[in-house]
Amino acid sequence: MAPASSSEFNWGDALAELGGPSPGMLNIGVACADRHVAAGAGDRVAVRCLGRGRERRDITFRQLSDLSGRAAAVLAELGVRPGDTVAVLLGRVSGLFATALGIWKAGGIYCPLFAAFGPGPIRSRLELGRARVLITSDELYARKVAGARSSLPQLEHVLLLGEDGACAKVHPGCSDFGALMAAAQPAPSVSTRPDDPAFLHFTSGTTGTPKGAVHSHRAALAHLATARKVFGLTEADVFWCTAEPGWVTSTAYGVIAPLVCGATALIDEVDLEPRRWYGILHDENVTAWYTTPTAIRTMMRFGAALARSYRANSLRVAASVGEPLNCEAVLWGEKALGVPFLDTWWQTETGAIVIANAPGDGRRPGSMGRLLPGVEAAVMRCDGSEAKPVESADVVGELAIRAGWPSMFAGYLGDGKDPSPCFRYGWYFTGDLVRRDDDGFFWFVGRVDDMIKCGALQIGPFEVEAVLMDHPAVAEVGVVGKPDLLLREVPVAFAALNPGFDAGDALKTELLSFARQELGSTMAPREILFVAELPKTTTGKIMRRVLKAKAVGEPDGSDALSVQRPCPGRYDDE
The residue ranges that bind ligand WT7 (CB under 6 A) are 203, 247-249, 321-324, 343-348, 368, 430-432, 444, 447, 456, 458
Smallest distance from ligand WT7 to CB 21, Å: 31
- CA atoms 562, 564, 568, 573: torsion sign: positive
- Tell me how far apart the alpha carbons of residues 542 and 536 are, in angstroms, rounded to a whole number: 5
How many whole angstroms separate alpha carbon 349 and alpha carbon 410? 9
CB closer to ligand WT7 out of 71 and 267: 267
Q: Whose Cβ is closer to ligand WT7: residue 104's or residue 444's?
A: 444
- Going by C-alpha positions, the residue among 269, 272, 326 that lies closest to residue 298 is 272
What is the end-to-end Cα distance of the chain in Å, rounded? Answer: 36
* Dist CA 483 CA 379 (whole Å): 26
Q: Which residue is nearest to ligand WT7 (CB)?
A: 348
Closest CB to ligand WT7 among residues 70, 488:
488
Instruction: Please identify, using beta-carbon distances, which residue of 178 and 455 lies nearer to ligand WT7.
Output: 455
Q: Report the nearest approach of ligand WT7 to the CB of residue 251 (Å).
A: 10
CB of 369 to ligand WT7, least distance (A): 8
Residue 384, classified by CB atoms within 10 Å of its CB into exposed (0-12), middle (13-18) or buried (19+), is: exposed
- Cα three-residue angle 483-318-227, rounded to 5 degrees: 110
Q: Which is nearer to ligand WT7, 248 or 296 (CB)?
A: 248
The residue among 279 and 568 lying less far from ligand WT7, judged by its C-beta, is: 568
Kindly state the smallest distance separating residue 116's Cβ from ligand WT7, in Å. Answer: 14
In this structure, are residues 175 and 432 in contact, taking their beta carbons and an 8 Å threshold? Answer: no
Measured between alpha carbons, how far is 131 from 154 in angstroms, rounded to an integer?
7
Distance CA 391, CA 487 (A): 34
Quote the crossing angle between the two packed helices 327-337 and 293-301, to the nearest 10°: 60
Nearest CB to ligand WT7, comparing residues 122 and 161 = 122
User: Which residues are bridge partners to 536 per DSSP?
Assistant: 542
Between 352 and 387, CB nearer to ligand WT7: 352
Strand 133-136 to 85-89 pairing: parallel
Helices (H), 60-176: 61-77, 95-105, 119-128, 138-140
- Smallest gap from Cβ 302 to ligand WT7, in A, equals 23
Strands 133-136 and 157-160: parallel
C-alpha of 133 from chain center: 21
Angstrom distance (rounded) from CA 304 to CA 314: 18
Smallest distance, Å, CB 417 to ligand WT7? 24
- Least distance to ligand WT7 from the beta carbon of 341, Å? 12
Between 209 and 430, name the residue whose CB sits nearer to ligand WT7. Answer: 430
Question: Per the omega criterion (within 30 degrees of 0), is the bond before 21 cis?
Answer: yes
The smaller minimum CB distance to ligand WT7, of residues 231 and 345, is found at: 345
